[in-house]
């Protein structure tokens, strides 16, 4: 008999090629987890993640699940302890528990919250340099907040998707965008029911152009309507992006 184990984990994505296991590299978060689970179970264990974070992107609240023999792993704590014993220091399982058979970390998710961090000072904090984007100039926060208002709600976000050949629906719902000032550092918080490939980084890059005076806030309406990637701003670098929280029905948002 197999148990369905749900884990919540954090990782520093700086040296990894993203979440998803790939044929041309074994240096991925999913790959590292599956290697340890193979060692534990003696067989291939597929790990399903709630989202495929890109190369260089970090997570404080990634959620994943996998099925494993109950005799080898009788409870979530056994999985957490074993994984943390053999995973590299930049990946840590925060919690693990047995969940119903039908739970799937991605398909069962109802919301996700991402954070993007920008340093507007002339140089990044030495101890945060791998986790923020160094913009290096003062930004018009009020204008960016005005622009963000046009993004709230359900829209076709094709203009903010890096996959130009996307065949599936590009309609998503953004519930909230908050831009919080912490001295010279800005925190962009995005909560929605799902995000397209590079969507958060393109949204941030576009908002930064508004903050730099390159675009007017109301331009967001035209960008959405165009459904054309060329109309939106550049893709912000990966190091400032964190997956903070994944929401599921019946659970409280903690971000």
Query: How many residues are there in the chain?
Result: 255
156 given a catalytic annotation: no
Q: Mind giving me the DSSP string for 141-191?
A: HHHHHHHHHTT-EEEE-GGG-S-TT--S--EEEEEEEEEEEETTEEEEEEE
Task: Give the active site residue among 12, 26, 54, 75.
Answer: 54
Pairwise CA distance, residues 107 & 51, whole Å = 10
Q: Are 160 and 202 in contact (CB under 8 A)?
A: yes
Q: Are 60 and 244 in contact (CB under 8 A)?
A: yes
Q: Phi and psi for 150 in degrees, rounded to 5?
A: -70, -15
**CA 134 distance to own-chain centroid:** 19
Active site residue ranges: 54
């Amino acid at each position: 008999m197999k148990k369905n184990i749900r884990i919540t984990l954090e990782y520093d994505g700086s040296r990894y090629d993203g979440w998803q296991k790939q044929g041309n590299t074994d240096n991925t978060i999913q790959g590292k987890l599956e290697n340890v689970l193979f060692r534990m179970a003696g067989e291939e264990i597929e790990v399903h993640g709630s989202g495929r974070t890109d190369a260089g992107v970090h997570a404080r609240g990634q959620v994943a699940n996998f099925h494993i023999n109950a005799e080898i792993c009788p409870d979530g704590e056994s999985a957490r302890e074993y994984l943390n014993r053999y995973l590299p220091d930049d990946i840590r399982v925060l919690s693990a528990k047995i969940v119903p058979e039908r739970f799937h970390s991605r398909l069962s998710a109802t919301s996700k919250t991402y954070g993007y961090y920008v340093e507007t000072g002339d140089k990044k904090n030495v101890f945060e340099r791998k986790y923020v984007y160094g913009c290096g100039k003062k930004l018009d926060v009020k204008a960016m907040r005005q622009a963000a208002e046009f993004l709230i709600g359900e829209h076709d976000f094709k203009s903010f998707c890096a996959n130009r050949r996307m065949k599936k629906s590009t309609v998503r719902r953004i519930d909230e965008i908050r831009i919080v000032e912490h001295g010279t550092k800005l925190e962009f918080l995005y909560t929605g029911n799902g995000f397209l490939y590079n969507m958060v980084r393109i949204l941030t890059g576009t908002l930064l152009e508004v903050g730099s005076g390159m675009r007017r806030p109301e331009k967001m309406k035209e960008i959405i309507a165009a459904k054309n990637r060329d109309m939106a701003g550049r893709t912000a670098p990966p190091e400032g992006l964190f997956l903070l929280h994944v929401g599921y029905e019946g659970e409280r948002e903690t971000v």
